[in-house]
Amino acid sequence: MEEIFISFLKDKVNLIENELDKAISEYKTSPLFPAISYSLKGGGKRIRPVLLLASYSSFKDDVEKALPVSVSIELIHTYSLIHDDLPAIDNADTRRGRASLHKVFGEDIAILAGDALLTLSFENLAKVTSFNEKIVLRCIRELSINIGINGMVGGQVMDVMTTPQDATEEVLYYIHSKKTGSLMKTAIKIGGILSEIDDEVLNKLESFGDKIGLTYQILDDIEDSKNSKEDESKVTFPKLFGMEKSKEIATNLLNESLSVIESVSLKNDLLKSFIYYLKSWIS
Amino acid sequence: MEEIFISFLKDKVNLIENELDKAISEYKTSPLFPAISYSLKGGGKRIRPVLLLASYSSFKDDVEKALPVSVSIELIHTYSLIHDDLPAIDNADTRRGRASLHKVFGEDIAILAGDALLTLSFENLAKVTSFNEKIVLRCIRELSINIGINGMVGGQVMDVMTTPQDATEEVLYYIHSKKTGSLMKTAIKIGGILSEIDDEVLNKLESFGDKIGLTYQILDDIEDSKNSKEDESKVTFPKLFGMEKSKEIATNLLNESLSVIESVSLKNDLLKSFIYYLKSWIS
């Protein structure tokens, strides 16, 4: 069952890479370009923009129309990684097996490159012409709310303010839902907004996105824990619940997300397949 | 002549403060709120949002309509100051006579508060309902382009990459135009976009904004130089040209901006008065 998503992912990655190139092409002569390019071309899986396309494809056929919008999601993801890696936050020297941006270009350039990509994400959205103004504006509203103070940034704030010693279950759920979950949920929800589905279906899509976003981060923590790549200063599901219980929580969330998505009428099994894709990580 | 602007400024500041409060009010329970509030309530002159309102008032009567939009300009200004002050960039311990944000709340919170305010600026714009979607989207496009890689962030990048020793006139003009000029120009231009003036007038408004934005920064440098508050690592107009020549450049720019604005048909002398307000700083 997971093959459907994997083949969609493989199929769409090149389109997204090309669209990312287009989004930054007019800035090629900027002294910031090498830093931006280094970060964007860091070998990300492009899961988030692909989820937006998968969500859109669950209701509509012309997936290329949604490509420019999906790029804005990846720009946000990249900015968040750059700022997360900074010495004052996670102090990560590496990212995806390469030196982190500030290690190569300096902290000042890393801060500014993050600011630039966050800004570019909105510029890119505001320039979309394949959807009407009302829809584009709704996407901007949705994105900005979910990556802001009560969304992704809020999760990161809670993360830096929390030590594993004083972390409660509630705080752990909050951090993971917001820090990672918010952007994945938004990607999926924006796919629905672009498809102009009604609010009832959109709410289900949001609930599905919430659950799989949280699961994605739990599975990432489990993976890091297995490979002894855990950051000691960070609170994680395996640290708080142990490995087996963490897997059980993830499995339950995936089962819940399956019932949600099975209650929606979709053109194909793409989103369902994503659930099985995540399930295959749990072993 | 400068009294017209000064009285408009005094008159509008409280409205802007209230609108800023409204823009952040739903985030009162966030752990980030104290940091955001500290920065926004730092006693700024609110020149940029007031310029947007002045520009709008030069064509239209219902200035309150433009208030929510003007707040987004101040949110961008505040985010840029927070990130500029960071140890990796300007390393400023104080801002407007108080400790800078990272000195009070830590570098991590300062980075995230800046990210949050940049994001909130777009959220706030995307929620504007007093103008139609087409106009709002055009404002988002205008703002994002001018504060991004070829705008404000670009100026800051050039600034951190330049030492006073290797600064040419061209580089100095670039830094000042982009770092400070871009946002002031945008504030003035957005006032015109909201007024739905035709493109010819809009271009003149943009040219006016370019000149007064650059002048504003030159005058700020002159002021700092007089008060021996100059940052030694920074390239400034007084350092490169000397005090008298810097004043001459500023005066010429103001005279140019005066001819531009006199060629536009306006409802009042607000923008003209702003030129005299700046002229009164040169002595």
pLDDT per residue over A219-260, tens digit each?
999 998 888 777 777 889 999 999 999 999 999 999 999 999
Mutation target among B149, B170, B175 for the A interface, most CBs of A within 10 A: B149
Q: Which two tokens stand for residue A168?
A: 């409660």
Task: Tell me which of A72, A100, A108, A152 to substitute to probe the interface with B (most B C-beta atoms closer than 10 Å).
Answer: A108
d(CA A273, CA A259): 13
Q: Tell me if residue B30 falls in helix, strand or coil.
A: coil
Give the residue ranges of DSSP H helices in B148-230. Answer: 152-161, 169-176, 182-194, 199-226
What is the least distance, in Å, from the CA of B9 to any CA of chain A?
Answer: 29
| B127: nearest CB among A32, A123, A141 | A141
Average pLDDT over residues A65-72: 98
Give me the pLDDT at residue A218, please.
95
Q: Where are the beta strands (DSSP E) in chain B?
A: 94-95, 98-99
Contacts of B271 (CB under 8 A, 6+ apart): B54, B55, B58, B188, B208, B261
Q: Which of A33, A107, A148 sits opposite B88 (nearest CB)?
A: A107
The verdict on a CB contact (< 8 Å) between A111 and B109 is no
pLDDT digits (tens, 9 = 90+) for B41-70: 988 899 999 999 999 999 999 999 999 999
Place of tokens 């190569």: A104
Report chain B residues whose CB lies below 8 A from the CB of A154: 30-32
**Rounded Cα distance, B270 and B171, in Å:** 32
pLDDT attached to residue A210: 96
Across chain A, how many H-helices and E-strands are there? Answer: 14, 2
3-class secondary-structure state, position A128:
coil
Buried b (16+ CB within 10 A) or exposed e, A108-122: bbbbbbbbbbbbbbb
Average pLDDT over residues A180-206: 97
Q: Read off the pLDDT of residues B16-50 as tens digits, 9 standing for 90 and up.
A: 999 999 999 999 999 999 999 999 998 889 999 99
Q: Are the Cβ atoms of B89 and A83 closer than 8 angstroms?
A: no
Report CB contact under 8 Å: B31, A141. Answer: no
* Nearest residue in chain B measured CA to CA from A138: B126
Out of B108, B119, B141, whose CB is closest to A88?
B108
Rounded Cα distance between B174 and B226, Å, is 23
Instruction: Please answer yes or no on whether A137 and B137 come within 8 Å at the CB atom.
Output: yes
The pLDDT score that the predictor gives to residue B63 is 97
CB A220 within 8 A of CB A156: no
Identify each DSSP E strand in B1-137 by its residue range.
94-95, 98-99
How far is the C-alpha of B212 from the C-alpha of B210, rounded, in Å?
Answer: 6
Q: Inspect the interface and report whether the beta carbons of A157 and B118 lie closer than 8 Å.
A: no
Q: CB of A167 within 8 A of CB of A154?
A: no
Please answer whether residues B88 and B157 qualify as being in contact, where contact means their C-beta atoms are separated by less than 8 angstroms: no
Partner-chain contact A141 B120, CB within 8 Å: no
Residues in B touching A36 (Cβ below 8 Å):
149
Along the 283 residues of chain B, how does pLDDT read in single tens digits? 899 999 999 999 999 999 999 999 999 999 999 999 999 998 889 999 999 999 999 999 999 999 999 999 999 999 999 999 999 999 999 999 999 999 999 999 999 999 999 999 999 999 999 999 999 999 999 999 999 999 999 999 999 999 888 889 999 999 999 999 999 999 999 999 999 999 999 999 999 999 999 999 999 999 988 887 777 778 899 999 999 999 999 999 999 999 999 999 999 999 999 999 999 999 7
CA dist A69 and A142 (Å) reads 12
Top CATH class, A3-279: mainly alpha
Distance from CA of B4 to the nearest CA of A (A): 35
Mean pLDDT of chain A: 96
Q: Smallest Cα–Cα separation from B254: which of B271, B268, B270?
A: B271
Residue A225: predicted pLDDT: 87
A149 and B89 in contact by Cβ < 8 A?
no
Mean pLDDT score, A54-58: 98
Domain ranges of chain A: 3-279
Which of A24, A40, A52, A88 minimizes the C-alpha distance to A189?
A52
Chain B nearest CA to A91, separation (Å): 10
Q: Encoding tokens for residue A20? A: 């990312």
Q: Which of B107, B118, B122 sits opposite A140 (nearest CB)?
A: B122
Identify the residue whose tokens are 């330049």: B162
